[in-house]
Amino acid sequence: MHITSPAAGKLRSLNTRKDLLPVADLIELCFGRQMDADGWKYVHTIRQAAADRNQIRWMLGAGERIAYPLHGYVWEEDNQIIGNLSIIPFYKKGVWRYLIANVAVHPEYRRRGIARQLTLKALEHIQSLEVASAWLQVRADNAAAIHLYQELGFLERAVRTTWQRDSLLTPEAPAYPGYKFTGRAPQDWELQRRWLNETYPPDVIWNLPLEPERFAPSLWQKFVRLLNAEDYRHWAVRGGGKLLGIATWQASTLHADYLWLATDPHEEQEAIAALLPYIRGHLHNYRPLSINYPAYRAAKSFQQGGFRELNTLIWMEHPLASSSPFATLS
């Protein structure tokens, strides 16, 4: 593997006391054109934290899954930060996972091996935490970054599209003769759980704000939901005497609330095409909605329901052996 080593540059740990502002500038410079509402909020929050260190404590306690850059590495050259990468820990079901995010190099310093060295350093760091692997997400249209990560040994694990509906001014709900819409019945839970597991498998659920067991129609889960002030709404669609799918609404403090879809794999397109317009008529809070879904599936049904593709991300994993192949490269 070819590694250039720009003599003038220095790779070091992120220092939240002095680096947050230049890191926010670099993220904006490198991602600005493709940033969505949450991306801009994210950069704004980093800037606020740079101005007020109390914010950092708040960021540490933030409940939503926003990847704040509290740990990571920067590349310093010509007295400025021209490269950055964040390492974000996630804890779910007793397992820690680490996501490499915000990999960015100033346009004037690219193709000199800086991103490669930052990523290798991050892999070394994550390996020292004794976890089985490192993760990252890259836009499916970012050929340069995909090439870099493949070269470093990252493997594709999933491709996911985020569908978003910003406005309620979506096409009128078409009539679906023969379909019946109801609330979710307790006996629907077994199928819902199985289908949710298919749509949100273990390789992706760790990075989503989804806890399917919270949807269980048990007294205990009702108590847990009350305790956590969690609010969900379920809608079921039935046809030909059987359950075809269930959609669940979940509130969020981000730009859009979430919808989680559990559908019969053989009736996926029809069930989604029927559910989305129906929900539109039954959610009255006028908030945008966001759906994370396996890429390239049921696209027409989402579009008909007034959703647009916000992004499609490849989720990549780098298995880590116990002895470090990266130490010599840093």
Ligand X SMILES: CC(C)(COP(=O)(O)OP(=O)(O)OC[C@H]1O[C@@H](n2cnc3c(N)ncnc32)[C@H](O)[C@@H]1OP(=O)(O)O)[C@@H](O)C(=O)NCCC(=O)NCCS
Taking the complex as a whole, the smallest distance from the CB of residue 221 to ligand X amounts, in Å, to 36
* Candidate residues 81, 145, 191, 210; the one interacting with ligand X per rule CB under 6 A: 145
When asked if residue 87 is in the footprint of ligand X (CB under 6 A), the reply is no
Q: Which of 38, 35, 17 is nearest to 26 (CA)?
A: 35
Q: Which of 184, 209, 179, 196 is nearest to 277 (CA)?
A: 179
When asked if residue 88 is in the footprint of ligand X (CB under 6 A), the reply is no
When asked if residue 69 is in the footprint of ligand X (CB under 6 A), the reply is no
Nearer to ligand X, 30 or 134 (CB): 30
Nearer to ligand X, 116 or 165 (CB): 116
Instruction: Report the alpha-carbon distance of residue 181 to residue 41 in Å, rounded.
Output: 37
Segment contacting ligand X (CB under 6 A): 102-110, 173-181, 198-206, 238-246? 102-110
When asked if residue 313 is in the footprint of ligand X (CB under 6 A), the reply is no
Nearer to ligand X, 224 or 329 (CB): 329
Q: Where are any strands of DSSP class E within the chain? A: 10-13, 72-77, 80-92, 95-105, 133-139, 155-165, 179-182, 232-239, 242-250, 257-263, 289-294, 308-319
Nearer to ligand X, 117 or 248 (CB): 117
When asked if residue 147 is in the footprint of ligand X (CB under 6 A), the reply is yes
Q: Which of 87, 83, 89, 69 is nearest to 114 (CA)?
A: 83
Q: Residue 8: left (phi > 0), alpha (psi -120 to 50), or beta? A: alpha
Q: Residue 11 pairs with which residues in a beta bridge?
A: 75
**From the CA atom positions of the chain, what is the Rg in Å?**
22
Query: Do residues 272 and 261 touch, judged by C-beta distance below 8 A?
Result: yes
Buried/exposed code over 1-14 (b: 16+ C-beta within 10 A; e: otherwise): eeeeebeebebeeb
When asked if residue 29 is in the footprint of ligand X (CB under 6 A), the reply is no
* Candidate residues 50, 87, 88, 105; the one interacting with ligand X per rule CB under 6 A: 105
Nearer to ligand X, 108 or 172 (CB): 108
* Candidate residues 37, 148, 168, 216; the one interacting with ligand X per rule CB under 6 A: 148
Give, as ranges, the residues between 107 and 126 that touch ligand X (CB under 6 A): 110-116
Instruction: Report the alpha-carbon distance of residue 311 to residue 139 in Å, rounded.
Output: 7
Query: Do residues 268 and 156 touch, judged by C-beta distance below 8 A?
Result: no
Nearer to ligand X, 87 or 115 (CB): 115
When asked if residue 2 is in the footprint of ligand X (CB under 6 A), the reply is yes
When asked if residue 33 is in the footprint of ligand X (CB under 6 A), the reply is no
Interface residue list for ligand X (CB under 6 A): 2, 30-31, 103-105, 110-116, 138, 142, 144-145, 147-148, 151
